[in-house]
Amino acid sequence: MSYTILDFKPDTGLLNPRFDGYKLRLADSEATTRVYSLESEPVSPQKLPSSTPLGYDEACFCVHYNHLFVGPRDSTFIYIDSAGVAHMVYVDKHSPLQVVALFAIPQQESDSALAGYPGAYALSENLILLFDGVESVYVIQRLPAAKGREQWSAIGLFGIGPGPMAAGPAEPHTWRRMYSILGAALVREADQTLIRLHVSYRIDRAAETTAGLSGSRGIGACPSLALPGITASRQQTPPPFCVMAVEVDMPKLACNSVLQTAQPQIPATLYPRTVHTLRSHAIPVYCEYTAGDTYVLGVRDGVELDDTESASRPHSPSEASLSEVPPCIPDLYYWSQTSSDVTMCIELPVSVNAKQIQCVLTRVAITLRFSEAPECEAKYRLNHAMLCDEIVADDSVWTIENGRLLTLYLQKVHEGARWPTLFSKDDGVLETMDPNEFAVIRERLQRLTSDSFDPHRPAGVPTMALATEEVDQDNDELEQESSSVVFSVRDWRTGVASASSVAGSPGWLCPSFSRPLSQRQGGSGELPPVCLRFDVDGTVFGFNAENMHQSGGHVHADASTCPRHLGTFAALSYIQASKREKRFMYVDPDMTVAVLAETQRRIYVYHQVSSDNLNTAAQSVVDLGNATVAGETEELLGIQLSGRMLVVLREHSICTINLDRC
């Protein structure tokens, strides 16, 4: 099976070195904005207790969660109020806004799941998936209209939680999960209609060990993974998030047409099945489905080995995996990097000389062997271990100091590109050391001459591990902000990746607004673009779903068109970094505007440069006013794009903004 590198290299012809900046243009709020009060209950996101054990990534996910969802028809959107009622919003710039109640989601509590945020996912013009924010998912279908008003009924219900397996520790509240649905799609196989969706949740490591999830059979169970090349101690601390690919058979009565009855239905119990699972270091920021049995996943710092990929994916002789990295190496090496080079440091168990080391550095891999040193050979032998990105082999060197410290200096081909991992397959070893710490290690080694570095150190504990914990903690937030997103094209049935971006991919900025469902059905054409950081600019890349297909049982991706640079928003990366109150940031998939929304009142609109003026572009600021309820300022909870109309959801109102007047 061929393996494709997804190259996010910007097209220099689409960059604008002549750009001088944006010219501020204050929008007339009365002329551009209409405000409609909600006649429903307010939209009030669940307030989680301060004691809720959420990680940084989950907290960011909650803060930036978009509570306004794309509807089943063009210019329709869905929101869910605090009473759990889903409402459809009809947007027409020539007519007043219309809002129709669709379905009241039953409210429930769970001993195994936190009350997170509900969601709505349009599957077709007549089918919608509604998530209650806890564990239950409803499939609702359009009924014949009554007196000109929309009617919908639930036809199916299934759960995404662990169900009976939620026995676990004596205090279940200490390991309740918060589920989030990343995306959903309707597919047809032979005579069967299926729903496919991805679900993410954080794995509670202590509870996983106590409950023994590897023996569980619930849908929420992410099995304990036997990761090649990773020690048992490393497997006890796997990446913190589980990403499940779930498939559900649709009820026989369901189809893409209107339900042929005016009476609400009793929802049928549906039985989801887990197709495969992945483990990731963060909640994915991108999950889209193609026309065939493939999907595109974007995750900060990538996806670690999953329960199927290591066993199912064939390897060509030229493609080495981390199964070639010996079992002990994840715990016994450290690495650091600058903008131009990477340094790998290994503390050897016994003293060796340079003649005993055979180190071969190629453009993409490392081979490391030791002669007459079985302890080193057993622990550190590398056989063409693939690196995360390319190096300049002729400018890369290795040294041995005091017979015990082996250091490899690797010169980057792509200067300025940050490597999230040292090897192409993530072995879980984070960049935890400052370059200055290497000097401390060398100084300490120079004072030690015996084979036993520390007679009081427990066996198997590397000396360098003692100084890394504080550095790792201090950089947690920085890692989240600066890490790049690794994109991969994966097979739906196995989860095996047939294509992936390299570590040098530009950093993540924001997604694009979702296209109307009519443009996404069938999986053909462009998938939603993404905006990535390139220097000070925001570069927009698109994925062509028509070039991702299956042939002979294997997934293929045409790298010539997937991905491709669509356009650039000059200086967008620099500008967004200066905004401290930003909640939402999106780009128009048609490359006309980029939108940045604050937490409460202001929305910034950045226009593209015109063909007759490449030096400047317009920036509009729309002030929605300082509306207060019970003495508190209304928050912006959701934002979507309908043609040239921005639709903004607040707690007690919906606003429309005419971009043609900004």
Using CB atoms within 10 A of its CB, is residue 50 exposed (0-12), middle (13-18) or buried (19+)? Answer: exposed
Q: What is the pLDDT of residue 505?
A: 64
pLDDT class for 325, splitting at 50, 70, 90?
very low
Q: Is the pLDDT of residue 112 over 70?
A: no
Residues 6+ apart with CB under 8 A from 523: 185, 289, 290, 291, 292, 545
Alpha carbon 610 to chain centroid, angstroms: 33
pLDDT class for 547, splitting at 50, 70, 90?
low
Query: SS3 for 22?
Result: strand
What's the CA gap between 642 and 443, in Å, rounded?
A: 63
Rounded to the nearest integer, the mean pLDDT of the chain is 76
- Mean pLDDT, to the nearest integer, of 134-161? 86
Q: Is the pLDDT of residue 225 over 80?
A: no
Q: Is the pLDDT of residue 471 over 80?
A: no
pLDDT class for 258, splitting at 50, 70, 90?
low
The CA-based diameter of the chain, rounded to the nearest angstrom, is 90
Q: What is the pLDDT of residue 121?
A: 96
- Residues linked to residue 4 through DSSP beta bridges, in sequence order: 499
Q: What is the pLDDT of residue 279?
A: 87
∠ Cα 50 56 60 (to 5°): 90
Instruction: Specify the residue for token string 């993530």.
Output: 426
Q: What is the pLDDT of residue 239?
A: 63
pTM over 0.95: no
Considering only residues 530 and 437, tell me which one the structure prediction assigns the higher pLDDT: 530
Q: What is the pLDDT of residue 237?
A: 44
Query: SS3 for 32?
Result: helix
Nearest to 86 by CA among 97, 73, 99, 95: 99
Least confident of 32-41, 95-104, 116-125, 156-165: 156-165
Q: Determine which helix (DSSP H) or strand (DSSP E) holds 575, and give its type and residue range.
A: helix 572-577
Query: SS3 for 295?
Result: strand
Q: What is the pLDDT of residue 111?
A: 66
In this structure, the strands spanning 616-623 and 21-26 are parallel
pLDDT tens per residue, range 194-203: 999 999 988 7
- Mean pLDDT, to the nearest integer, of 318-347? 63
- Residues linked to residue 394 through DSSP beta bridges, in sequence order: none
Residues 6+ apart with CB under 8 A from 537: 15, 16, 568, 569, 570, 571, 572, 573
pLDDT class for 30, splitting at 50, 70, 90?
confident
Q: Is the pLDDT of residue 65 over 90?
A: yes
Least confident of 107-121, 334-348, 425-439, 612-626: 425-439
Instruction: Specify the residue for token string 């729309």.
Output: 622
Q: What is the pLDDT of residue 53?
A: 63
Nearest to 21 by CA among 619, 620, 616: 616
pLDDT class for 209, splitting at 50, 70, 90?
very low
Q: In what order do the strands lie in the sheet with 616-623?
A: 21-26, 616-623, 602-607, 593-598, 582-587
Q: Is the pLDDT of residue 320 over 70?
A: no
Query: SS3 for 441?
Result: helix
